[in-house]
Amino acid sequence: MALAWRTFLQFEAKDYPPEGVNNFERFVTDSTIYRMFLIGSYHLFVAYAGTTLVGMITLRDDSHISLLFVDEKYHRQGIGRALIQYVKSYLVSEKKVSHMTVNASPYGVEFYHKLGFRDIRPQEQKDGIIYTPMEFVL
């Protein structure tokens, strides 16, 4: 979660009101999320360059991307795309679902559009978190 928090501060926090920044920090540092990993209701997939953690993606509710972050030094090298591709394959083969969703941050909207996600509603804001609900049909 340190990677998510660090990357959020570098690239996304400027787009959020203080309430949103505080709520995001609470989310990535809450012990509840750790317990969700342990019981299997929240899935984490990571990318490494050698022994260095360079990217992460998490899923909740079996088909919703909750967090996707790539370390700044590794942006534009296909890591985010590879994580999405891995999750697509995982969802089709292991979860047998037909679509996946994401609430894309303002910073991530263009990235998701390039990968074929489509907006399912206009941009929203809840508890200071700004996002565009999107979907990808598998």
Q: What is the model's pTM?
A: 0.92
Query: Facing residues of 43 across strands?
Result: 59
CB 98 within 8 A of CB 111: no
Q: What does the mean pLDDT of the chain come to?
A: 94
Average pLDDT over residues 43-64: 95
What pLDDT does 135 receive? 98
CB 66 within 8 A of CB 42: yes
Domain residue extents for the chain? 2-137
* 34 confidence band (pLDDT: 50, 70, 90): confident
Nearest to 129 by CA among 8, 46, 7, 2: 8
Q: What is the DSSP string of 37-82?
A: HHHTSEEEEEEEETTEEEEEEEEETTTEEEEEEE-GGGTTSSHHHH
Of the options 3.30.230.10, 3.40.630.30, 3.30.200.20, 3.30.70.580, the CATH number for the domain spanning 2-137: 3.40.630.30
Average pLDDT over residues 36-62: 92
What pLDDT does 101 receive? 98
Q: Is the per-residue pLDDT at 32 higher than 80?
A: no
